[in-house]
């Protein structure tokens, strides 16, 4: 299965080489990204069994309650107040989201608890992403793997508007997604620290 998957990706590279009428820089970007996919695919194939074990373990856990999420969710993040929130809207799955805003400056934080059958399925893409190493850059955005406050994250920066999107699979259990608008990189790092994700593991 692993060999077949890698072969398919290599064929994709060949198709990029043979395409006509494409701008040279775009082809270069596509090749660079495809190399990253091939490298990551090999790593993910090696991790697939380990990922299945993690998901099985998560299915046996109990999702955080509404009260526990509400206790964790910060009332302010980098001086922006919590303007709206939702907690545990799907039966059988723990999740919460919070929006923070002053004017056009905004932060949205979403957390999905991977505990339980529904939760483990919901965090699958985040678990998959956590096994990969990103280093993609083009005219519109970059996506890179970074470490912020000791936490490995997937960071995407949109060059046209300065927006950030950061995601992580925290503590082998929680899918965390952060979107920002009109927030500097220094503030982005502070957001990660302010959230105190380690508290989620203490309930």
Tens of pLDDT, residue by residue over 72-98, are 999 999 999 999 999 999 999 999 999
90, 162: one domain: yes
Tens of pLDDT, residue by residue over 94-147, are 999 999 999 999 999 999 999 999 999 999 999 999 999 999 999 999 999 999
Q: How far is CA 177 from CA 24, 85, 95, 123, 157, in A?
A: 34, 14, 12, 11, 14
Confidence of residue 150 (pLDDT cuts 50, 70, 90): very high
**Would you say residue 167 has pLDDT above 50?**
yes
The whole-model pTM stands at: 0.79
39, 97: one domain: no
114, 181: one domain: yes
**Would you say residue 27 has pLDDT above 50?**
no
Q: What is the average pLDDT across 55-59?
A: 95
The tokens for 131 are 């096994």
53, 66: one domain: no
Report whether 118 contacts 140 (CB < 8 A). Answer: no
Q: Which residue has the tokens 């091939």?
A: 38
15, 71: one domain: no
Range of the domain at 12: 2-57
74, 156: one domain: yes
40, 6: one domain: yes
Q: Which residue has the tokens 């965390």?
A: 176
């Amino acid at each position: 299965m692993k060999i077949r998957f890698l072969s398919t990706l290599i064929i994709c590279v060949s198709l990029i080489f043979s395409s006509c009428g494409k701008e040279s820089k775009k082809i270069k970007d596509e090749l660079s990204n495809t190399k990253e996919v091939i490298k990551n695919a090999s790593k993910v194939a090696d991790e697939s069994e380990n990922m299945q074990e993690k998901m099985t373990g998560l299915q046996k856990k109990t999702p955080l309650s509404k009260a526990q999420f509400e206790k964790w969710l910060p009332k302010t993040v980098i001086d922006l107040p919590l303007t709206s929130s939702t907690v545990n809207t799907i039966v059988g799955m723990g999740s919460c989201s919070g929006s923070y805003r002053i004017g056009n400056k905004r932060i949205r934080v979403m957390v999905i608890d991977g505990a339980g059958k529904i939760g483990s399925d919901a965090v699958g893409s985040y678990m998959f992403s956590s096994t990969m190493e990103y280093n993609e850059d083009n005219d519109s955005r970059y996506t890179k793997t970074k470490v912020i406050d000791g936490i490995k994250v997937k960071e995407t920066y949109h060059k046209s508007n300065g927006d950030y999107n950061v995601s992580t699979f925290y503590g082998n259990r929680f899918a965390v997604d952060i979107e920002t608008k009109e927030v500097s990189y220094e503030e982005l790092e502070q957001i990660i620290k302010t959230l105190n994700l380690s508290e989620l593991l203490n309930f």
